[in-house]
Amino acid sequence: MQQLYLGLMAATAIVLLLGLLSRPLKRYGLAAPFLALLGGVLLGPQMLGLLQPDGWGRTQLLLEKAAQLSLAIGLMSVALRLPAGYIPQHWRSLAVLVGLALPLMCLSAALPLYWLFDLSPLLALLIGAVVCPTDPIVATSVVTGEIAERDLDEPLRNLISAESGLNDGLALPLVMLPLLLLGLSPLEAGRQWLVTVVLWEIGGAVLFGLLLGLLAGRLLRLAERMRFIEQPSFMSYTVALSLLALAGAELLHTDGVLAVFVAGLAFDQMVGGKERAEEERVQAAMDQFFTLPIFMLLGVVLPWAEWLALGWPAVALVLAVLLLRRLPALLVLRPLLPALQRRRDLLFAGWFGPIGIAALLYASLASERSGEPLVWQLGSLLICASVVAHGLTATPFTRLYGYCRRASRE
C-alpha cells in the first residue's frame, strides 16, 4: 500500500511541477514527456529507489492498461483539436501515410533488428510493428504550445496530429499478423487475422466509435437545447466519452484505441468540439493530468540490465531506427503526399514521427502474448530513445522550421 501512495504522490507532483514550469521548460527545449520519463528514472530502483516495481505484481499488464488509458484521453483531445471535417478533406495524404508509410516504417524498423540481433524474420517484424505507429501524446508536445503555434504551419500540425491518431489503432493488424504466425499455422493465422483482427476488431471499432460519438454529440446538443445542463463541463463530458468508448470497445473485443479516436471525430462533427476545447483549455488539462504519469511509470520499469547486456548492437539499432524508420518512407512516397510537397514540411514530418505510448501498449501486449523477452527489451529501448531524442529536438527544430518559413517569404 505504501508503494501505491508513493506512486500517486510522485505522479501528481510531477504533473504539478511541469504545469507550473511549462513555459520556461518549453522555451529551453525540454518537453514534458521527456521530463516525466526522467522523473521516473530518478525515482526508480536504479537511482533513489523510492518506487520498486518488483512489488507491483504483473508489471507488463499494468503498463498495458495504463498505456491504454493514457492513449484514450490523448486521442480524444487530438480528435477535438482537429478542424471539423479534416479527415475527409485530407483523406488522400492520410491514406498514404497509414496505408503505405506505416507498413514501410514497420519494415524499416524490422530490417536492422533482423541484421543486428539475428532474430527470426517474424520476431523482427513483430518488434518493427510494435514501434511503427507515431505517438499522439509525444506528438502533441511537438505541435502544441506558443512556439509551435507561432513557428509551425497549421496544416502541418494538423497532419501530424491526425496521422498519429489514426495509425495508433490501425497498427494493430501489423502487430497481430506476426504474433499469430508465431503460434499458428499460416492458414489458421491468416484466417484469424482477417476475420478477427481486420473485420471485427478494426471494423467493429470504427462502427462502434462512430455510433457512440454521434449519439453522445446528439445527446449533448439535446440536453443544452432543453436546458437540462445547469453548468456544462465540456472536459468532464469528453473524458467520460473517452473512457466509455474504451471500455465499451474492449468489452466487445474490438480495438479500444481506434474506437476512442473515431468517437472523438464523430462527436466533434456534431458539437464543434474544437472551439469548445479551445475555450476550456481541455487539451492542456487532459494531457497533463492523464498522460504524463505513464511516462513516469515507464521510467521506473526500464530494463537497464537487459539493455546493457545487448551491447553495441543496441546503440546501432537506436541510430538506425531513429534515422531510417520514417524519413526514407516519406521521401519515397512524396509524390503521393500532397500535404508534404514543401521540403521543410517533409523533413519536419519525417523526423517527428515519435515512438511513444502506442508502442508501449503494443510492446506490453506482444511481450505477454509471445513470451519473447526481447520484444519488451528492444521495444522499451526504442521508445525511451525516441522520447529523449524527439523531446530534446522539438523546440530547436520547431524554431528552425519557423526561421526557414520566414526566410522563404522574404
Tens digits of residue pLDDT in 250-274: 999 999 999 999 999 999 888 876 5
Give the Cα-Cα-Cα angle 97, 184, 174 (nearest 5 degrees): 5
Tens digits of residue pLDDT in 94-106: 999 999 999 999 9
pLDDT at 287 (0 to 100): 64
What nine digits make up the cell of 57?
Answer: 505484481
Tens digits of residue pLDDT in 155-209: 999 999 999 999 988 999 999 999 999 989 999 999 999 999 999 999 999 999 9
pLDDT at 166 (0 to 100): 92
pLDDT of 282 strictly over 70 = no
Report the percent of the chain where pLDDT is more than 70: 91
pTM: 0.91
- CA nearest neighbour of 142 among 360, 352, 382, 399: 352
The whole-angstrom separation of Cα 340 and Cα 398 is 16
